[in-house]
């Protein structure tokens, strides 16, 4: 498991360089990638369903990136996007299209559905956390303005 | 004509955000934030392939349409534009335009460094998908080859489908060749590892995020893009695999 996380960090670091992330942001995005892959493996170890593992790791990933983005004063995207890389179902899309070309429709449909569910789970995790963050932020702003008045 | 200048800088900033991998809502936010800082009211409609901005002040309305043709991911630019937009009110329009032009000129990491990054990423993915350490070393040169291909074709501004088909074919060919000389153990892990550099998983996930956020057009566009790229990759690898297997038997 440890080597797996190490390779996830390496892959995220590589994509960070490809996406031209610089300085401290690069380090933290690689870290976040490792954390998200670690959460995914941990969930699988607890034998949760595959989709839930992706959902949980995307939630952990987004929380971490929101925190680091606030600390580094950078848009959340620049950390979130590369942290998402190890989880993203790239191989799923590729295999789906590959099975279709092989005329193996049954496998293609099951792989395609799985890929779509993974992508939906990942984006739901992100949306849930960023909505919560927005609620918290708006709450703070209201409290602040009330203090001033 | 300050209104014209405000419109120019706002739409230029929005265009740069979209061209460098920012989300559509971020571009729309950015445009209205810059316009508000200059005391004009603005509305912006951004999609993946274009951006429409209109600015209003004192009974005068100006609008601007910008077509976005090529998109890459360059998050350093997004980061810097975001920083700049936070201090909009401290700059006048000409200074702001100058700063934006500066940001637009930011270079990427050097080519050897990029080569290394592509190689390591591809190899790490080969291991993440269940390959062995031997596959790691074998996938390094394949990842580098994929980068060299996409880099050497980037200056011709070719259709993405062509480059992706070729990339898929090259990675499959190399994987089978390395397998035949005993350099990798699992060809499929080596292929999919190096394809992760081209594969549109991020586009699909971001597309669904856009759809959830209510940007249906952008979401559908991203989904279609993902499907198209995946198809071209599969065509390339499929052709290369059947060719190399045909040669062996």
Every domain of chain B and the residues it spans: 2-104, 111-248
- Contact list in A for residue B140 (CB cut-off 8 A) is none
Distance CA B217, CA A85 (A): 24
Over the stretch A45-73, which tens digit does the pLDDT of each residue have? 888 888 999 999 999 999 999 999 889 88
What is the reported pLDDT for A149? 36
| Residues A119, B199: C-beta atoms closer than 8 Å | no
Q: Residues A76, A69: contact at Cβ < 8 Å?
A: yes
B17: contact with A, CB 8 A cutoff: no
Q: Are B23 and A75 in contact (CB under 8 A)?
A: no
B181-211: pLDDT as tens digits: 888 888 888 888 888 888 877 888 888 888 8
Residue A142 pLDDT:
60
Partner residue facing A77 (CB), from B78, B199, B234: B78
Q: In this predicted structure, what is the pLDDT of residue B24?
A: 87
Asked if residues B72 and B150 have their Cβ atoms less than 8 Å apart, the reply is no
| Euclidean distance between CA atoms A78 and B243, whole angstroms | 41
Note whether B192 contacts A: Cβ–Cβ < 8 A: yes
pLDDT digit string, tens, across residues B3-16: 888 888 889 999 99
**Do residues A87 and A58 make contact, with C-beta atoms less than 8 angstroms apart?**
yes
Chain A CB contacts of B212 under 8 Å are: 123-124, 127
Identify all chain A residues contacting B21, using CB atoms and an 8 Å cutoff: 19, 77, 81
- What sign results for the dihedral spanned by CA atoms B141, B142, B145, B151? negative
Which tokens sit at B164? 């992706």
Q: Best interface-test mutation with A: which of B234, B238, B239 has the largest number of A CBs within 10 A?
A: B234
- Does B202 contact A102 at a Cβ distance shorter than 8 Å? no
- Tell me which chain B residue has its CA closest to the CA of residue A124: B209
The minimal CB distance from B205 to the residues A25, A74, A88 is found for A88
Q: What is the mean pLDDT of chain B?
A: 87
Q: Work out the angle between the directed axes of helices A77-84 and A2-18 (0-180°, nearest 10).
A: 130
Helix (H) or strand (E) run with residue B87 in it: none
Cα B48 to chain centroid, rounded: 11
DSSP annotation string for chain A: -HHHHHHHHHHHHHHHHHTT--THHHHHHHHHHHHHHHHHHHHHHTT--HHHHHHHHHHHHHHHHHHHHHHHTS-THHHHHHHHTTTS-HHHHHHHHHHHHTT-HHHHHHHHHHHHHHHHHHHHHHHHHHHHHHHHHHHHHHHHHHHH-
Q: How many A/B residue pairs have CB atoms within 8 Å? A: 151
Share of chain B above pLDDT 70, in %: 98
């Amino acid at each position: 498991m440890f080597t797996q996380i190490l390779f996830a960090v390496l892959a995220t670091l590589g994509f960070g360089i490809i996406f031209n992330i610089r300085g401290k942001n690069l380090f933290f995005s690689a870290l976040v990638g490792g954390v998200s892959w670690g959460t995914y493996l941990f969930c699988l170890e607890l034998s949760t369903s595959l989709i839930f593992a992706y959902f949980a790791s995307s939630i952990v990933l987004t929380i971490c990136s929101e925190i680091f983005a606030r600390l580094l004063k950078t848009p959340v995207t620049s950390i979130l996007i590369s942290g998402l890389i190890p989880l993203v179902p790239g191989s799923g899309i590729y295999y789906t299209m590959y099975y279709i070309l092989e005329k193996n429709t049954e496998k293609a449909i099951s792989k395609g559905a799985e890929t779509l569910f993974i992508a939906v789970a990942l984006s739901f995790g992100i949306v849930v956390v960023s909505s919560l963050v927005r609620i918290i932020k708006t709450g703070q702003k209201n409290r602040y303005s009330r203090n001033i008045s | 004509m300050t209104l014209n200048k405000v419109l120019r800088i706002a739409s230029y900033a929005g265009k740069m955000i979209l061209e460098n991998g920012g989300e559509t809502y971020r571009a729309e936010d950015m445009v209205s934030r810059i316009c508000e800082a200059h005391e004009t009211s603005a509305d912006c409609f951004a999609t993946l392939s274009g951006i429409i901005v209109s600015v209003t002040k004192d009974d005068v309305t100006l609008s601007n349409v910008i077509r976005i043709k090529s998109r890459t991911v360059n998050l350093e630019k997004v980061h810097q534009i975001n920083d700049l937009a936070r201090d909009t009110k401290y700059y006048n329009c000409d200074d702001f335009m100058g700063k934006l032009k500066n940001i637009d000129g930011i270079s990427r990491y050097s080519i050897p460094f990029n080569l290394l990054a592509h190689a390591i990423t591809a190899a790490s993915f080969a291991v993440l998908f269940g390959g062995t350490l031997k596959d790691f070393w074998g996938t390094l040169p394949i990842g580098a080859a994929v980068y060299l291909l996409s880099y050497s074709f980037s200056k011709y501004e070719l259709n993405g489908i062509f480059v992706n088909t070729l990339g898929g074919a090259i990675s499959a060919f190399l994987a089978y060749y390395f397998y035949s000389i005993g350099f990798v153990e699992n060809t499929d892990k080596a292929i999919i590892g190096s394809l992760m550099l081209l594969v549109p998983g991020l586009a699909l996930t971001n597309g669904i995020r856009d759809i959830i956020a209510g940007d249906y057009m952008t979401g559908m566009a991203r989904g279609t893009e993902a499907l198209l790229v995946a198809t071209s990759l599969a065509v390339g690898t499929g052709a290369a695999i059947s060719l190399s297997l045909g040669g062996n038997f």
